[in-house]
Amino acid sequence: MCPPSSTGAVRGRPRREGVSDAVVTALVRLVATHGYAGTNLDAVARTAGVAKTTLYRRWPSKGALAVDALATTLGAPPVGGVDAADDIHRAVDWLAQRVRDLEVRRLLVGLVAEAGVDDDVRRALRRRLRDPVAERLVDRWGLEPGEVDLAVDLVVGTLLHRLALNGEITAEDAERVTRIVTGLVDR
């Protein structure tokens, strides 16, 4: 979560502990309150009790920091389904649940938007969000990569778009999406 120093060197003053956590926490809270675009890094630094310099030393941009924060807040997907269908079910449920958290929601919507503009954010988002889930399904259950990719996009995209246009998402919606995706991938 906390990005390593650019040089692996142990020379010089070590990074103060807890700083990255404080920054991520501050950003998550501010984004939940004012939205992604409405959150500026000066405020994040001030809230975290840290100088802006420190912030830019650890992350290259607002987007990179936010991706990090999203990954932290989102947590890891569940593991240990008994078969592919079960795994998919768990993953979709977990995602639908997490997305109903305001913090996750605001971050995710803001970042997907940013991904449309900033290529770095797009790559980071893909690597940190889609790939972990997809790789697991491919490696463990031998599902076809193309299908899985589409399935993930279908889940995330649908839920997100629903949020963007409705501002809300119901348990029933999540259930439906689960069914669709299970049917799609699991033959």
Partner DNA sequence: TTCTAATCGAGACGGTACGTCGTGTCTTCTT
Partner DNA sequence: AAGAAGACACGACGTACCGTCTCGATTAGAA
Residues found near DNA in the complex (CB under 7 A): 5-7, 9-16, 19, 38-42, 49-54, 56-58, 60-63
| Upper half-sphere CA count for residue 21 (Cβ side, 13 Å) | 3
When CB distances are held under 5 to 8 angstroms depending on the partner's kind, the choice from a second copy, DNA, none that residue 79 binds is none
Among residues 48 and 99, whose Cβ is nearest to DNA? 48
Give the Cα separation of 140 and 136 in Å (integer).
6
User: From the list 38, 49, 75, 145, which residue makes contact with a second copy (rule: CB under 8 A)?
Assistant: 38
Give the Cα separation of 187 and 143 in Å (integer).
10
When CB distances are held under 5 to 8 angstroms depending on the partner's kind, the choice from a second copy, DNA, none that residue 85 binds is none
- Interface with a second copy, residue 177, by CB under 8 A: yes
Give the Cα separation of 49 and 7 in Å (integer).
25
Shortest Cβ distance from residue 54 to DNA (Å)? 3
Contact letters (x/-) for a second copy, 136-165, by CB under 8 A? --------------x--xx-xxxxxxxxxx
How far, in Å, are 5, 56, 60, 181 from residue 10 at the CA level? 9, 20, 21, 48
Q: How many CB atoms lie within 10 A of CB 138?
A: 17
Shortest Cβ distance from residue 12 to DNA (Å)? 2
